[in-house]
Structure 1
């Protein structure tokens, strides 16, 4: 009997290096776990489309899928787009079943990689005189933004840093320049800008550009930019952890501050909002306009 497949689901990126890193990571996991069918696809922007990956695995006889979203926080893609895409694949392939795992962060393994990226950027300088600006993607979902702040606090604890502040590169405040200015006003003379992203892409590049742009006008602050998390062993181990907990039904989703279940100020209209699939532009038979992209107006079920 074929073991349930590990299906990695990414959002997609217009950056080819980022898309290739995802594809190589899927191949890396497949090579490390020959006992499992392993595949992966994107919901938009990059090949292969999720639909193609599922079709190929279904053609090989796979009937059970454990889908792990390769995202760090529970924003609109994790809460709405990916579950809806999986529901669509179940309809396309009668007899298949899809269990859906939770996003990856924050997790001690990823915090360990972030610390390693920090050390690479600090390059032997005193941690006690170093402030970190952890930069997340940003979302219109306050719950997702709060998760980035949680990761920042966990990174600060016990690591001997002067402080860890938080910023976002899109859709949420504070921005990267505003975050750096806050660090400066708090007395920072050395700031490591640490992107909270898994792989290279357009947004991590933008983080670096904005940090360098701010630094040109702030000669008294040593601004250093760290690398993204990348396909490290800790990430591979975490994906397998999510896979096994998904099979066991141990999802532990946080619904206490979810805008689709709880009336948060300014987001009352989202409670109970219907799921809307986010069709990949290469998905046969589905035209998808991007007018709602990144709006965060998606529901989710647990």
Structure 2
């Protein structure tokens, strides 16, 4: 039997978003043919430790872990690898292979175009792709790359990008940029897998800006629990098992002294203390894992 799959998520204070993740794990489990478990690094149940315990109960001693993240920010680079290192301390017989985040893969771009089509854009519509935002410049650049790839492959007037937290431009500033570029109608496209506090905030800010300016704005749904997303997770799982998972470290702030971020080179990573996981009261520092 191939190694089972651990799907690692961030977690959310929004129970609907957490439930979408759990349902997606079940969808992958029904498609893959090996044991599959999902866990969160914080905020939601089940924690990663519980998911690992479930896979160990199947007799597994080698686990493939895939970070269910759209960009390679701190969670995929540090928090999840640190959590896996802690699980290896708890289970000395256990080993992991670690997959890549999802990234602006053609499957993700196709799913984004599907969500966009649901709100019926025209060739004159300007699109604003809104990501979570990060203190990692490399992660924010991935959102900009996804926006450009969409612009090159989608029959719309253009695709700009913005962030809902931690990075500029914010949603109102991104919408204003679209207006200044001549947009008479704007489609907001959340760059999120599942619903939650931040996607809801994106929709609220877009609606408020539209009401203030009079420019029509429609907000698409998040990517969501779907078969297309399953196919990409399976791809990331299989390449991890083959040892083909490779990260682009050319602009990683943990490896490269980017201006203004020099202090983060080689910084140790510690896992989040999950509120529902009482087996690990102390964190263990671990180098980032990509």
Whether the aligned pair in 2 keeps the contact of 1:281 and 1:287 (CA below 8 Å) is: no
Counterpart check, 1:185 vs 2:180: yes
CA contact (8 A) 1:280 1:288 kept: no
Name the residue aligned to 2:21. Answer: 22
Q: Distance in 2 between matches of 1:30 and 1:143?
A: 32
Matched, 1:254 2:248: yes
The CA distance in 2 between the partners of 1:247 and 1:227, in whole Å, is 32
What corresponds to 2:119 in structure 1? Answer: 121
Q: What is the alpha-carbon distance in structure 2 between the residues aligned to residue 208 and residue 287 of structure 1?
A: 37
Cross-structure match for 1:12: 11
The reply on whether 1:277 has 2:271 as its aligned counterpart is yes
Q: Hey, what's the Cα distance between the residues in 1 that align with 2:118 and 2:282?
A: 41
Instruction: Describe how 1:83-98 pairs up with structure 2 within 5 A.
Output: 83-98=81-96
In structure 2, which of residues 220, 224, 227 is the aligned counterpart of residue 226 of structure 1? 220
Aligned pair partner of 1:243 in 217, 223, 237: 237
Aligned to 2:48: 50
TM-score of the aligned structures, taking structure 1 as reference length: 0.93
> Is the CA contact (8 Å cut-off) linking 2:24 and 2:226 kept in structure 1?
no
Q: Partner residue of 1:107?
A: 105
Q: How does 1:280-291 map to 2 (within 5 A)?
A: 280-287=274-281
Task: Check conservation: 1:260, 1:299, Cα contact below 8 A.
Answer: no
Is there any run of 5+ residues in structure 1 with no aligned partner, and where? Answer: 290-297
Distance 1:246 1:112 in 2: 23
Shift of 1:137: 0.1
The SS at the match of 1:207 is helix
Corresponding residue number in structure 2 for 1:300: 288
Q: CA deviation at 1:59?
A: 2.2
Q: Is there any run of 5+ residues in structure 2 with no aligned partner, and where?
A: none
State the Cα deviation string for residues 10-65 of structure 1 (Å, max 9, x = none). 000011111001101111111223x3011111011000111011112212211110
Equivalent residue number for residue 140 of structure 2: 145
Whole-Å Cα distance in 2 between the matches of residues 100 and 283 of structure 1?
A: 22
- Contact 1:169–1:207 at 8 Å: present in 2 too? yes
Which residue of 182, 189, 197 maps to 2:192?
Answer: 197
- Distance between the aligned counterparts of 2:20 and 2:195, measured in 1? 8
Give how far 1:278 is off: 1.6
Deviation per CA, 1:121-180, whole angstroms, max 9, x where unpaired?
A: 12xx52x20100000000000000000000000011032211100000000000000000
SS at structure 1 position matched to 2:153: coil
SS in structure 1 at match of 2:45: coil
- 2: CA distance, partners of 1:218 / 1:288: 50
Q: Secondary structure at the match of 2:188?
A: strand
Aligned length: 289
Give how far 1:285 is off: 3.8
| Contact preservation (8 Å) 1:3, 1:37 | no
How big is the shift at 1:223? 0.4
1:3 to partner: Cα distance: 2.1
